[in-house]
Amino acid sequence: MKLSARNILKGKVKQITEGAVNSEVTIELPGGIPVVAIITKKSISSLGLAVGKDAYAVIKASSVMVGVD
């Protein structure tokens, strides 16, 4: 697999919270750091995602927003 994204983080699926159309997938990175993504239920099915399975969080962003109180 080759991707143009520079941030490819390997972890394990810790939780899948299903919604009506989309689902929230939590991938736990080494050290216990969670990364959460919202993807379609169809994508979960086609990727064969399940709790405990290895997965990659692939992050490509042209901008990152930062805020403070």
Q: Which domains does the chain have, with CATH numbers?
A: 7-59 (2.40.50.100)
Task: From 24, 23, 14, select the one nearest 52 (Cα to Cα).
Answer: 14
Distance CA(18)–CA(8), nearest Å, equals 24
pTM of the model: 0.84
Q: Let me know: does 28 contact 12? Beta carbons within 8 Å.
A: yes
Distance CA(69)–CA(46), nearest Å, equals 40
Q: What torsion do the CA atoms of 14, 17, 21, 63 make, to the nearest 10 degrees?
A: -60
For residue 59, pLDDT over 80 is answered with yes
Band the pLDDT of 69: cuts 50, 70, 90.
confident
Model confidence pLDDT, tens digit, residues 12-43: 999 999 999 999 999 999 999 999 999 999 99
For residue 1, pLDDT over 80 is answered with no
Band the pLDDT of 48: cuts 50, 70, 90.
very high
Distance CA(34)–CA(37), nearest Å, equals 10
